[in-house]
Chain A
Amino acid sequence: MRAGTPRRHGRDGLAMATLIGTVVAACLTACAPTGAGVTTPSPSPSTPAPVPPTDVVEVPVTSAAVPPPAARIAPDRLVIESIGVDMPVVDVGVEPGGQMQLPVDPAVAGWYRYGPDAAATAGHVVLAAHVDAVDYPIGPLANLRDVAVGSTIAVMAADGSTRTWVVESLTYYEKAALPTDELFAREGDPALVVITCGGPFDASTGHYRDNVVAIAKPQS
């Protein structure tokens, strides 16, 4: 089972390379007219480590007693200083229709509680907020489209910790084509994903055409 770990790593590397490729491709078409920035980070080549020769299998044995609930570190504040964003974060789940739940107030962001948490060492921490909602002022994430690649994002968490992330890409996706499986990844390199709406507004449906998605990597 230890031998399985390198293989998983290799797959995730490939998935990340694919994701970056997709982001670049999407930006070449979707983001060009809007002037959104994009970087093309070179994914580090990840070759699976060779399976070490072994003649024994270690069978893990654990207690089957009822485990205490795993502690989850919930993000509680999102700060993107360069674009004037400083907003509280609450945890959210899923709407009955399967869409991500969002706080009604555009001034409050939601953290997808079923995905990786603020302290995640793998997978994507997903935060999202309405860009606007009826009877509320336009939300802080209206400025997300102006965030520059390389800007920092600070995420404070309920345990008092602050984690700093660096924006790596900004992408407009047509909502119908939002790559949710990639954005909500639970494995692979850790990333912060900040999502709101943008693009043209369709008054007949009451929805924007696009999602605006910023992806940030942990500050090293």
Chain B
Amino acid sequence: MRKTAAAGLAVGLIAALGFAVPASASTSDSAQLSVLHGIPDTPVDVYVNGALTLDDFQPGKLAGPLTLPAGDYEVALTAPNAADASSPILGPATITLTADGDFTAAAYLSESGQPSLKLFQNDTAATAAGQGRLTVRHVAAAPAVDVLAGGSPVIEDLTNPNEKTLDLPAGPVSASVALAGTTEPVLGPTDVQIQDGVLTIVYAWGSAEDENLALAVQTVSVAHSNPGGVPSGTAGYLAQRDTTMSFIALAGAGALAIAAAAATALAMRRRQEARR
């Protein structure tokens, strides 16, 4: 599904690309923005700087990423099909996108169930070779939780609207969410794929009281690291064989030379004998 944004935002995006084209390595004037809708049962229209940007945005959906010039943006959420942003159900709120940053704006429920908006910055620092990154964000109307991987807690006492981040070996993780201090899952277990060079963001959203807690997942490519080298020989047998082969070759050449010299000497002697 694709939605069309208003022209005001478009101009900003084109300007950003205009900067980026000549200086291919530099993105210093732009930021990445995604938007997560984590308020159950409430489709919205999203206005950015007064312009309709996401029409009929559904809960559990993720929009973006959009490349935008760094700076302040005013975000407002209205009921679907509102004429404009003048009577928002959430906002208007100002979000600040800093240069080179990767952000997710989440519309979510506070611990007490109030619709809220928060801008999270995604950690895009390079991961080590063979490692991926997991960020867990608690944006559900629910008390503090623990996050379990394979049944044992890896993140403890995470409260709304906070996040925790850790780097893990790449591979599948059986993740579940339990109320803090317990191990009985309220969400999951679900297999979450930790990928080398990828930030996987898991959101716990919805409402415990309304029994619609759910997990949402966003992935962001981050800088990865390559192996430092390829140590592909440890015995030296090949080098040994090469040395032996060249010795044999040398010895062979030597033997030939001796034989040739002997033959020459013999021939000369015969000629001398013949002359006599």
Contact = CB atoms under 8 A, between A and B. Distances in A.
Interface of A: 1, 3-4, 7, 10-11, 14, 48, 51, 54-67, 69-70, 93-95, 97-100, 102, 112, 114, 128-134, 136-138, 141-142, 175, 178, 180-181, 183-184, 186, 195-198, 200-201, 203, 206-208, 211
* Most chain B CB atoms below 10 A, which of A11, A54, A69: A69
A184 B224 CA distance: 11
Contact of B10 (A55, A99, A141): A55
B21 A7 contact: yes
Given A97-B228, A102-B232, A51 B21 contact: yes
A197 B62 CA distance: 47
Given A59-B54, A114-B130, A114-B196, 6 more contacts: A1-B65, A54-B14, A61-B54, A94-B129, A133-B233, A206-B234
A59 B2 contact: yes
Contacts of B170: 93, 114
Contacts of B224: 114, 186
Nearest to B219: A67
Contacts of B14: 3, 51, 54
Leading 10 A-B pairs by shortest Cβ distance: A197-B233, A201-B239, A64-B216, A94-B130, A114-B196, A201-B236, A100-B227, A131-B233, A184-B226, A64-B62
Interface of B: 1-5, 7, 9-10, 13-14, 17-18, 20-21, 24-25, 36, 53-54, 57, 60-67, 128-130, 170, 172, 190-193, 195-197, 202-203, 215-219, 224-241
Given A7-B21, A66-B215, A114-B197, A132 B10 contact: no
A56 B196 CA distance: 34
B2 A200 contact: no
Given A1-B67, A66-B192, A208 B226 contact: no
A74 to B, nearest CB: 14
A211 B230 contact: yes
B218 A132 contact: no
Given A129-B232, A175-B229, A59 B64 contact: yes
A116 to B, nearest CB: 12
